[in-house]
Chains A and B, each alone.
Chain A
């Protein structure tokens, strides 16, 4: 093993990336874990916002529809980096004001929670649009059948609408998830220790920029590849009731 590394001239690289100090590998992995945690949380929050947002846009009253239109337009118009700065500083500021008002001192806001909150709001805007389109693609007869057989609204949502819209929403949601994993890198600007910031710190401490950023790139790529496999499975499952286009021949 060492011989191979030696001949390839990678001994130094291996030492830098080693999981135990003085290697920085553990730091990178910790950053990756943080990134994934935020991405998962934000994606989940985005789905919940998106489902409510989609229903609001489709069936809500005029005021709710206008508010949702403003939300999705603004969020999708402003660059994510700017949004993150705004939401992060405004959000923490508001919480601190509230805490002071209620007689507590400054509260320390966990980076993970703040990150999920900020990215979740961004993801929610995109998820609203993806799910709105998917809900509209569900044949109305399926929802009508649920109503005709006495299913209450929430049961219909859970048993009929959501499973049926999955077939239409999965490709869009898969994209959204990948965006979530990469948007976590933007949280570096507010000093959150996700993968990119950890990488930057490792790189500048050791002056081995190339090694560390290449390693980080590899980690992001791995996340993407694994996500692809998972989403392909989800999509196959979601489309289980639909004849594939390929099967029919030309």
Chain B
């Protein structure tokens, strides 16, 4: 059942960029950062998501695990509408994304505004190759959030330093290792001070020896109280940082719970098999 767009005016739509910023660290703990209800997604006749519901509170780290093709990326991409859901409801920071009956966003401006509160880190980094690392990091703050240039640059330098790339700000992405590129992509994500970070297998495209440096950065962010949805195949890492683990199987949540439960005492046979196959 598609959720009808509510008719009431959207108070946050008029908010200026500067009043927008409520960082995850400042946000009220316990409030829902992301709420997904009954999410369906089909590609043609292929039903990829079959009614997924999921809530992440402020400060939660939710790890999403599951086999290849189970719909993990699709779910993440429906949250910021890179994919148009077929049905369901998505609420970010208490603001419901208005959808038409076919699932397409009813209000493009609303989507664009909400996207600036979500920051996605892609499996293949997707840095802008014609821009230096610094330019990559300041791009969205300057051109979307209208942060003054000097301020954006100062902040970007802090972030690049934080991910260990202080001396690389003038390098172009193609000249860096995968691990460096992914850390830069994380700096780009942090530059919008997102309320939720969406990680789609951030280490899957990396050589094994580069995985650790990226995980270290993500671990730091988790410790700092960033809200994140993290699709990953790094089970040990998921167990360590996640507050909540969701196991997706063929477009449905097969099992979920605290990491100790899900990893230590899986109830579903499929999950048990999956965990055996990846370990």
B129 touches A164 (CB 8 A): yes
A247 to B140, CA, bound (A): 32
Please give the distance in Å from B216's CB to the nearest CB on chain A: 23
Residue of A nearest to B132 (CB): A241
Is A160 an interface residue, CB under 8 A from the partner? Answer: yes
Instruction: Name the interface residues of B174-223: CB closer than 8 Å to any CB of A.
Output: 174-175, 188, 192
Query: For the complex, is A210 an interface residue (Cβ under 8 Å from B)?
Result: no
Q: Is the CB of B130 within 8 A of A164?
A: yes
| Cα-based distance from A149 to B118 in the complex (angstroms) | 7
* Whole-angstrom distance between the Cβ of B22 and the nearest chain A Cβ: 16
Q: Is the CB of A149 within 8 A of B116?
A: yes
Contact with A along B100-143 (1 / 0, CB 8 A): 00000000100111111011101011111111000000011001
Q: Are A145 and B127 in contact (CB under 8 A)?
A: yes
Chain B residues with a Cβ under 8 A of chain A: 80, 82, 108, 111-116, 118-120, 122, 124-131, 139-140, 143-144, 172-175, 188, 192
Within 8 A of B (CB), among A212-250: 238, 240-243
A155: CB under 8 A from chain B? yes
Q: Is the CB of B144 within 8 A of A141?
A: no
* A-B contacts, 18 listed (Cβ < 8 Å): A141-B125, A141-B126, A145-B122, A145-B128, A148-B118, A148-B120, A149-B139, A149-B140, A149-B188, A151-B140, A159-B139, A159-B143, A164-B128, A240-B130, A240-B172, A241-B129, A242-B129, A242-B172
By beta carbon, the residue of chain B nearest A158 is: B143
Q: Which chain B residue lies CB-closest to A165?
A: B130
Is A119 engaged at the interface, CB distance under 8 Å to the other chain?
Answer: no
Nearest CB in chain A: distance from B147 CB, A? 13
> Given the complex of chains A and B, what is the CA–CA distance between A57 and B102 in angstroms?
25
Chain A's interface: helix, strand, loop or mixed, by majority?
A: helix
Chain A residue at minimal CB-CB distance from B125: A141
A148 to B126, CA, bound (A): 11
Whether the pair B130, A241 counts as a contact (CB closer than 8 A) is yes
Which of A144, A150, A152, A167 gathers most chain B CB within 10 Å? A150
Bound Cα distance from A75 to B219, whole angstroms:
59
Which of B118, B125, B140, B173 gathers the greatest number of chain A CB atoms within 10 Å?
A: B140
Question: Is there an interface contact between B113 and A144, defined as CB atoms closer than 8 Å?
Answer: no
